[in-house]
Structure 1
């Protein structure tokens, strides 16, 4: 009977979450991976300390003095008025009349919850006056979030829980660090790279567990992030993108005059490609590890070629996935472009459209570069080919 091989720590093969035997890894490979990640972690922590915002985030006041936002319930809709006129009341029974555009006639019905801006009665002659702001969409959105959370936990179990925790950490991290740092005018490329690296250190280990396989994917992700950040910095300058084409750009400039709008655009490009980049690096690292587990005698070059066959399929699907994601998000803008009397080249290179195209191109280039990088790192770090042991005769 062939004897089982043991790694440098004296442990035999065990079965991981994939159902395939774990691949024993030598101390040198572990030292290279964790040493490299330790350096990256130290740089990230120093970046967080240096770039951490010192002041308070500016507050955008959307309600005039004496006014307040309130939630009310629609009690009646009058479709015969010049505009859509609705009656609404709050929990205390106070009733107000609200006028809004006729396009809401098919949307609002008695019993719907709306958010209104109630003006100071002393400014309106003592009559309760309210301005329609928006519909209340919180309950159905919360329901969808709960359904997603339950499905993720049921299907992915502990890894799903890690992914959900990682999502919460990402939102908190962007709101606590990235947004205030950009508002204070911190260097956008540095903020983008430090934010992305810090989030990846937390997200990958939370969602996929602490292992050399995950660490290899993290190395590939950090390399792809660096390439994406440098490319985004070059692209925003070379294409003369200003960040002024968005509808909120002028408001942002007035509220946070120290913020660099082009820098905010650059940071957004890097963050936009973060999720897809993480996905491809995890897949590539896992593919190489699984191939080593199934083919202990395969040469490293064969592992790299096999991983790249998986990677090429991933590239083919991911590139148009990214494109469709941006296309769907900007569909109203695409419709306006399609109906424009300008030439196709003129419209594609106009400010807001160019921003979306550059975002798609930079993200796609970053993930394409990350695939061979991660595959090569994984192929080098997995144990070398094992020779089959021949049983002694006699």
Structure 2
């Protein structure tokens, strides 16, 4: 079979798979979730009595002994800002009954989240829950948007739109489908590929480089899913090692496959680094081809892989450090307790994080040769597509300009 025929078949397979995911899986299930009866939907009941309140003033301040720890406390005069009791003023204590961080004193004008409820006698019971962080988060997001646009221009704008689409797929497709009892692995794979494909085409355009990256992403996701399934089964992970997952099972009205949830989480966790890796590798391969169009397949593949190896080494280290950073409080807790390393490693929630880190890293390692191979085949054989060549777009957007 000619290389041009193989390339054409691979491209058609990629387009068909993407269209199939959208038509056969994404849209019907999204509509099904939207039309699901209320009595069959998951009801988690988070924060039903949590409301915002404003600190009007400080009634009392001092120090209190909680166990072996001495800390400051405050008695606050607050006004409820929302909910059934909006407008009512009351006093609450901050730090007299629970441990509080040092240096985070409240003052008049601060907004907090409180829990408000009534006892059988009709008296209001109000407790401090957390700080309102909306404003600093908006400042952080605004700074992120400004710098993204300043540094990357219109490509930065497209990346922000892609980020919004990614969040939308996660919030309105992946999460509702899992809560509706769908297979978390299928939902995560289809959702992950869809959001990544849309993001890549939105940012980098309908080009040969993007086609190679999308196909590389699909194959890498499949490899990662197979590896995750194998090692989750081998290590006998059940999903019950995570207290959040246990709480989810207790509060949900549907049966959720926690083992599948672990697998889906591993795929989505690796996705953020995977898109960077595949597009960088595809870009590198096509740039080398543009600089030296007469370069043969073996040389092009070898040169691309040399840089890819460095990229993999740095990316894998980044991924492992990210997981280690997230688990740092847990590692400190075990160090203080003097637990034996053999015992710690066999705890399910520890094993889960280890498997997550290494499976994600293996998926990234596999993505480099896979994407490089596809990019080399496309770069060297795209002219053989004949009349179909124009359909697949330019090599890169820069070439089009």
**CA apart distance, 1:266:** 0.9
Which one has a larger percent helix, Structure 1 or Structure 2? 2
RMSD: 2.5
TM-score (norm 2): 0.82
- What are the Cα deviations for residues 222-268 of structure 1, in whole angstroms up to 9, with x where unaligned? 10000011111122111111111222222211222411111111110
**Counterpart residue number, 1:47:** 25
Distance in 2, Cα, partners of 1:218 & 1:179: 23
Q: Which has the larger radius of gyration?
A: 1
Distance in 1, Cα, partners of 2:173 & 2:182: 11
**Counterpart residue number, 1:370:** 367
**CA apart distance, 1:201:** 1.9
Distance in 2, Cα, partners of 1:121 & 1:346: 45
Map 1:1-394 → 2, pairs under 5 A:
31-32=8-9, 34-45=11-22, 46-49=24-27, 51-52=29-30, 53-54=32-33, 55=36, 57-62=41-46, 67=49, 69-73=51-55, 75-76=57-58, 78-80=60-62, 82=64, 84-90=73-79, 94-100=88-94, 101-104=98-101, 106-111=103-108, 112-120=110-118, 123-125=121-123, 129-256=125-252, 257-383=254-380
Distance in 2, Cα, partners of 1:167 & 1:195: 14
**Counterpart residue number, 1:20:** none
Distance in 1, Cα, partners of 2:225 & 2:29: 17
- What are the Cα deviations for residues 184-243 of structure 1, in whole angstroms up to 9, with x where unaligned? 222222112111111122111112222110110111011000001111112211111111
- What are the Cα deviations for residues 104-134 of structure 1, in whole angstroms up to 9, with x where unaligned? 4521221322111233488444xx5421111
- What are the Cα deviations for residues 304-363 of structure 1, in whole angstroms up to 9, with x where unaligned? 001000110011101110001111111101111223333212212211111111110110
* Contact kept in structure 2, 1:189 and 1:233, CA below 8 Å: no
Distance in 2, Cα, partners of 1:263 & 1:48: 18
Taking a change above 3 Å as real, the CA distance of residues 238 and 324 of structure 1, as seen in their structure-2 partners, is: same
What is the aligned length?
357
TM-score (norm 1): 0.83
- Matched residue SS, 2:337: coil
* Contact kept in structure 2, 1:185 and 1:260, CA below 8 Å: yes
* Contact kept in structure 2, 1:299 and 1:385, CA below 8 Å: no
Distance in 1, Cα, partners of 2:144 & 2:274: 22
Q: Which runs of 5+ in 1 are unaligned?
A: 1-25, 387-394
**CA apart distance, 1:93:** 6.8
Q: Which runs of 5+ in 2 are unaligned?
A: 65-71, 384-401
Q: Select between 263-272 and 100-109 the one with higher mean Cα deviation.
A: 100-109
